[in-house]
Amino acid sequence: MALMPSALEVMGDAPVIPVIVLEDVAHAVPLARALVAGGIRMLEVTLRTPAALACIEKIAKEVPDAVVGAGTVRSAADAQAATMAGARFAVSPGYTHAIGKACHDLGLALLPGVATGSEILAAQEDGYTALKFFPAVQAGGLAMLKAWQGPFGDVRFCPTGGVSAANAAEFLALANVACVGGSWLTPADAVKNGQWDRITALAAEAAKLPRPRR
């Protein structure tokens, strides 16, 4: 069994965690290999399609250099299913104690989604200090993250939602941002048409994004 990374290891591996939506299991392995070839190993496959769990299982079994995780984890049952499929981390769009406890009990690294100070406090009470800020741009963006640096100086964030190649560097320049999440590395048309070289090129550009030393 592959070792489970910590949440900080997931966020610290590369500047960007790709948010991946897969409709076809046949695309899972070549997509994962294309991203890894570009220097991106932490792959968030969202549980938004019927094929998602099968895609996670294929990547886990056939792309050993990738660290596949499950996104859009909304319940303890989702966390359990993702773990059984081979996911090594989970990302949730919000936070509940039940999700946090399930992931803790499973030994599954969790990036809980937060958008308010109260949600940060709830996650911290359960031991989580590496958090997903979602939906980042819509919930206050750079200004909100800067405001949180004071009261939540011990928390590291992965802003996701509205983050793109155009604004990723601005988020990554903040001291409390460990990485960003975004879907621009895996455009739907590129996946559908099997344009894996294009995805590798996008991943390589993302992997080069600067992050300040912390």
Cβ proximity of 29 and 198 under 8 Å: no
Q: How do the pLDDT tens digits run along the chain, 214 residues long?
A: 567 899 999 999 999 999 999 999 999 999 999 999 999 999 999 999 999 999 999 999 999 999 999 999 999 999 999 999 999 999 999 999 999 999 999 999 999 999 999 999 999 999 999 999 999 999 999 999 999 999 999 999 999 999 999 999 999 999 999 999 999 999 999 999 999 999 999 999 999 999 866 5
Q: How is domain 7-207 classified at the CATH fold level? A: TIM Barrel (3.20.20)
Both tokens assigned to 78 = 């989702």
- Residue 34 C-beta-side C-alpha neighbours within 13 Å: 22
CA distance 115 to 130: 13
Q: How far is CA 122 from CA 68, 77, 92, 160, in A?
A: 26, 20, 14, 19
* Residues annotated as part of the active site: 44, 132
| CA neighbor of 117 nearest in space, from 148, 142, 91, 143 | 148
Domains of the chain by residue range: 7-207
